[in-house]
Amino acid sequence: MKMKFNKLYMLLFAGALCTGTSCTKLDVDMHSAYSEDTFPKTPEQFVALTGPVYTAARDYFRDYFDLQTAGSDEVVIPTRGGDWFDGGKWRDMHMHTWSPSHEVVRNAWNWGYNAIGTCNRVLGVLENAPESDTKGQTIAEIKTMRAWYYYLMMDAYGNIPLQTTFDTGGELPSTTPRAQVFDFIVKELEDNLSLLSEEKSELTYGRPTKWFAHTLLAKIYLNAQIYTGTPNWNKVVEHTNIVLTEGTAYSLQSDMLAQFRPDNGAQDSEPIFSIPFHAARATGNELFNKVLHYSHRETFSLNTNPWNGWSAQPEYFDLFDDDDIRKQQWLYGQQYTATGAPLVYNGINIVLDPYGYNLLPGSDFDIGGADDGGRLAGARCVKYFPDKDHIGTNANNDVVVYRLADVLLMKAEAILRGATNGTMIEALESANQVRGRAFPLNPEKHFTAATLTLDAIYKERALEFTFEVTRRTDMIRFGKWENAMLFKPANAGETYKRIFPIPATVLANNGNLTPNPGYTN
């Protein structure tokens, strides 16, 4: 069982219990629970109060992960006979035929705005607390978390309502243009940077630090042309340089996959911001169920059968050279039990075929549920290594949101795109730190001035960041979002689908909001 669930997150969990799920559902007046005598005063009390802001983050790896990942080229979630049809929602995500009524679109929106509402509510309490250094830093942390939540919503939905107070009696908010939301996020992060901790430790693990804020600013500026129409590559280099030169506690891990294992945590040197999970006390990491074949129960000593759904698209799988250590995250070919015997399920030898996506007659997404057919299709990603100590469907792996490899590749890309405060030598050095780790014995595969191109960066990001909630944003930035994929034709005339629709339920409840262009209810 995972032992790294540190004191801080026991306190956060306690905070969630003390204030209850009402802090996430926003149906109880939190202010009434505090008076002059009971306002938080000690660091532990501040942590307990702010717990719901952090526990809300766990559904990032559920609802928001599904929204960002299921329509990208890194994965396909085909119907497998009677499995994974789910009302056609995965087909809609893959084919880019979602609507304002789509379940995944609605769930991700509700998660994001519940989290934002929780931030606003906690801030309302903190602002009335007695002045102290802890108060100032805590407010900065919650505002930074709120900026992150707003960034996720802006990236996915574009034009969104912007609220900074929790007000149940005021006028309903109207739509704020994406560029204005961008400006708000940038200002919020910049205004609070000086109050954030520079420490990398168990105490700050899972909380926003100065390095988190600079990494988030770099990511926002990397996509500024998409969000605002105006690029700002120099700002990407500026913020990545601060992390790379001043954030000396961070370094690339020699074993890239170690930072995703069930025992990952504050001791890992590469992650800049992670979401802690625990199979009993901080649940929600269920990814291993989605990707593994039913029979992998015997491979990884699991106590439940996985769900056999999410798998790699063949073209994406083919990006990985055999000598790229990142290919170790894929299961394909003959599978084995934990003792090394060939894996057998229902009398069928389990050989996963990365290319075995054969449609049933008359279907455009159903590959059938035959044990020796559709159920064996596709390589499976085990970057988040399956946890033998899972409880039910929940694993202990913490989820890595931002890490140093992303900072390095963002810097290289910005220079290639025209940043004037960085050189090609710097771009090569940054990109080759990542590339060199993947090919430690093959220096001929490292980048040169001739081979380090934007296309090469796009491919490298695919190789490095599978299942790290970057692919959709990368595809849009590189102009690939409308490309054809497995089973999906190109949809070049539908660039409006670079943002998702405002959910129909939200529009029905708030007449002040404007639907995103191109979508009808």
Q: For position 413, what pLDDT does the model report?
A: 99
Of the candidates 457, 453, 459, 409, the one whose C-alpha atom is nearest the C-alpha of residue 429 is: 409
What does each of the 521 residues of the chain score in pLDDT, given as a tens digit? 455 555 444 445 444 433 333 333 333 344 445 544 567 777 788 888 999 999 999 999 999 999 999 999 999 999 999 899 999 999 999 999 999 999 999 999 999 999 999 999 999 999 888 888 899 999 999 999 999 999 999 999 999 999 999 876 778 999 999 999 999 999 999 999 999 999 999 999 999 999 999 999 999 999 999 999 999 999 999 999 999 999 999 999 999 999 999 999 999 999 999 999 999 999 999 999 999 999 999 999 999 999 999 999 999 999 999 999 999 999 999 999 999 999 999 999 999 999 999 999 999 999 999 999 999 999 999 999 999 999 999 999 999 999 999 999 999 999 999 999 999 999 999 999 999 999 999 999 999 999 999 999 999 999 999 999 999 999 999 999 999 999 999 999 999 999 999 999 999 999 999 999 999 87
Q: For position 202, what pLDDT does the model report?
A: 96
**Structural domains of the chain sorted by starting position, each given as residue range(s) with its CATH number in brackets:** 7-281+400-509 (1.25.40.390)
Unique residue bearing structure tokens 């129909």: 504
Could you tell me where the beta strands, DSSP code E, fall in 170-293? 175-176, 271-275
Cβ pair 268, 253 in contact under 8 A:
yes
Q: For position 6, what pLDDT does the model report?
A: 54
How many Å apart are CA 155 and CA 261, to the nearest integer?
A: 28
How many Å apart are CA 8 and CA 282, to the nearest integer?
A: 13
What value, to the nearest 5°, has the Cα angle with vertex 237 and ends 231 and 241? 160
Cβ pair 440, 258 in contact under 8 A:
no
Q: For position 62, what pLDDT does the model report?
A: 96
Cβ pair 200, 249 in contact under 8 A:
yes
Q: Would you tell me how many other CB atoms lie within 10 Å of the CB of residue 257?
A: 16
User: Cα 328 from chain centroid?
Assistant: 21
Report helix, strand or coil for 408: helix
How many Å apart are CA 252 and CA 211, to the nearest integer?
A: 15
Please provide the DSSP assignment of 237-257 as one string: HHHHHHHHHH-TT----SSGG
pTM above 0.75, yes or no: yes
How many Å apart are CA 463 and CA 395, to the nearest integer?
A: 24
Residue at 59: amino acid letter:
D
The single-letter DSSP state of residue 351 is E
